[in-house]
Structure 1
Amino acid sequence: ISNFYRRCKEKAARKGYPKFQKHCRSVEYKVSGWKLAADGMSLTFTDGFQAGTFALYCNDKARRDILTLKINRVRVVRRADGYYAQFCLDVERREKVGYTGEVVGLDVGLMHFYTDSNGNAVPCPKFLRRAERRLKQQQRRLSRKFKKGAKPQSKNYHQQRKRLGKVHLKVQRQRRDWAVKLARCVVLAYGGAERFV
């Protein structure tokens, strides 16, 4: 924080801009520093970051929401398979769920992911265990391409590093997708609404 105010007082060309970390995986913008195209097909960054213009790939409903609703923030996230733009929209979301008054207790354990008070048990999906063989293979290939003392590393090393990152990213997405669907299924099952399929 002190460096931020110090740069504000200096007569530098880029005074007032906070410096991001070197290996930062996300940058967040509020109302300035970015510009959305009129057709919603591209996103241009106009700040000192000088990232340029990125094409937006999304479905028609998401593009319609981006163009019609108010955008409070834009966050650019770097993943192993590319860059993603997250839009924080000003919208009020309501879901009609009938309240039944039922109470259920959930116990998270090691043998099962959880067991409820009615005796229903959900087994652990073990996505990481299933991907261990492929992870070991990709990690072994990466270690073979690593040259000690070589700066920078070879092009093959960085390509293999991206392949390994994609395997880890797939496991992460499998876990998150499964957890979201399971939570929705539990809420709808005990909330009196239709069961989520």
Structure 2
Amino acid sequence: MTPPPAPRTDDLLAALGQEWPAEARRDVAADPATLARHFASAGRRAGRAPLPDLPGWSADEAARAVLLAALPPDAVAAQVADLYRYGDADEKRAVLKALPLLPLGAEAVPLLHDAIRTNDPRLVAAALGPCARHLDRAAWRQAVLKCVFMGVPLAAVDRLEERADAELAGMLAAFAEERAAAGRPTPADATALLDRLTGGTPDRPTSEKEA
């Protein structure tokens, strides 16, 4: 299953259906210094309810993404780095989810690496969205394996089928073998990916269904 494409700013605003995000967006576009204040208050002003029209997004995440997308291009990198560095887990996740809307390339990589190093499955999953294309293959493989270890559904990984390779298959096979030796199953989606990568060869480690 492929994750849905990142929503556009207009999609986020429409799903929110509130006046405050649009007003705050105008403030940020006119004066980027107002971003920190609006960003911090997004949970209170927009709420934290899931958005039915945007599965996987909450109202505060959508509002924060709208605010970040309003920044002038020359202010994006510094503002994003600061908001991520000093933010709580919800704010960090909102920054990660907003990255596809922003004019960032390699500047986003330190944020992705930081998120992947955490033990917060929500941050790990958010780091493997569309901007994970900027991760080198070694870092990306390790991040996918961490998803499997933490129980993060692989459906969250952008371009999984495109980027998965024989080396990832070897890592998954070794992981599955360790789990089998410990009497623990491998997540079904990881077993299915391993089957696709290896053609379901009989000498692979025992799958969850076979355990």
TM-score norm. by structure 2 comes to 0.23
Structure holding more strand per residue: 1
Larger RCO, structure (CA 8 Å, separation 6 or more):
2
Larger radius of gyration: 1
TM-score norm. by structure 1 comes to 0.24
Structure holding more helix per residue: 2
